[in-house]
Every structure is written in structure tokens, then in C-alpha cells.
Amino acid sequence: MKIIMLGAPGAGKGTQAKMIAEKYGIPHVSTGDIFRANIKNGTELGMEAKKYMDQGQLVPDELTVKILLDRVAQDDCKNGYVLDGFPRTIPQAEVLDKALTELGDAIDFAIDVNVPDENIVKRMSGRRACLSCGATYHIEHIPPKKEGICDKCGQELVLRDDDKPETVLNRLKVYHDQTQPLIDFYTKKNVLKTVDGTKDMKEVFADIVAILG
């Protein structure tokens, strides 16, 4: 099963994608996580991506597309994957579509996790992330067992550089300008499904499972 998660920054794409990956036994592929791992390791790619991410801008398509196509060509993606944060522009969606068509394949579901802008800024300022293992928490909704410490790997949790309110507003603008047109793109392909992302995360997941089967 090949699934794409759509939705504004902070809508809960990552939270749901991890749960889908676990239930259906497919890898969770997040371009944001790949970039953050590269930043943490000080790679050239990471240094280039950071310039854009810190401003809330998108990393250029040329860089992003190659990384994604390399990742989904790996063995563990043979039986499907859940993409989180890709595609984010029409050109990215077209490249993915072409690559899949050449393999006689296609996306099965594009799930739009719908959350109004008003809720987003609040969610982001409460998010805490583990830069070691990629786990995310929320200080009110999904707190770690021990304050400031990752349940999974014991490392320190941080507020992501791009979760500061002014950067979040910029990310929302970029989302509406460049990513929202994908809703139309996948509607036309008859694979778009919308879920209400303002519900509790377990209820959102139940709605997604009802769609995926």
C-alpha cells in the first residue's frame, strides 16, 4: 500500500504516519526527518536544507526529489510506504507520479489531515521533538513520561527551530500557496480522502484505518 499524508504543518501528519507504518508494517518516509537527520550530522545536504527550513521556506525541488526517489527505491519500500511531507509542490507530485507510472504503479491513498490555521500555531508551540529518534510529543496532549526526555531513547526533547510562532506563520503561508493545490491534484486522481485532524489523535487514526481497511 502506497500512502501520501497531506495537511498543513502541525496537522498531525507525522503522528498519524508513524501509527499507520506500525499497523500496516510499511516504512514511514518523512523528508523533514531526513533533512533534520542530515542537519544533526552536519552533512552538506543538511547545511543546504537548514538555510530554507529555518525561514519556513521549502527546500528546492531538485534536492528534495532526488532524496525521496532514492529512499523509496530501497528494499524495505517494495511493499509500500507512507510518505509524510512529500510531495509538497505540484512539480514534486508530477515527478513521483511519473516514477510510479514507469513502474506500472500508483499511489493508493492521499490522506488530507484537515486542521484550521487557528489551531496550528497553538499546537506547534507545544510540540517537543527528539532529534535523535524522530519521536514527537506535545506538552499538553501527548506528554513524555519524564518532562523534557524522550520515552523511546532517553535523549533530550527540544522545540524545533522552525516551530517558533513567526516561522510557523510563514510555513502556513507556504503551505497554502504551494502545497494546498495538491488536494486538487489527488482529487482528480480519485485517491484523495479527508479526515478531521482536530479530533483526538486516536479518533483520527480510527478514521484513517476505516479508509485504508
Binding site listing for Zn(2+): 130, 133, 150, 153
Torsion, Cα 114 57 35 128, to 10 degrees, reads: -60
The CA distances from residue 146 to 52, 65, 193, in Å, are: 32, 38, 36
Q: Which of ligand AP5, Zn ion, none interacts with 150 (beta carbon under 5 to 8 A by kind)?
A: Zn ion
Catalytic residue among 2, 71, 88, 123: 88
- The correct pick among 2, 50, 71, 123 for binding ligand AP5 (CB under 6 A) is 123
H/E stretch holding 136 reads: strand 136-138
Please tell me whether residue 134 binds ligand AP5 under the rule CB under 6 A.
Answer: no
3-class SS letters over 9-33: CCCCHHHHHHHHHHHHCCCEEEHHH
Which backbone phi and psi does 13 adopt, to 5 degrees?
-60, -50
Please tell me whether residue 130 binds Zn ion under the rule CB under 5 A.
Answer: yes
The separation between CA 125 and the C-alpha centre of its own chain, rounded to angstroms, equals 17
Footprint of ligand AP5 on residues 169-208 (CB under 6 A)?
A: 171, 197, 200-201, 204
Which residues have a catalytic role annotated? 13, 88, 127, 160, 171
Residues lying near ligand AP5 in the complex (CB under 6 A) are found at: 7, 9-15, 31-32, 35, 52-53, 56-59, 64, 85-86, 88, 92, 123, 126-127, 136-138, 141-142, 162, 171, 197, 200-201, 204
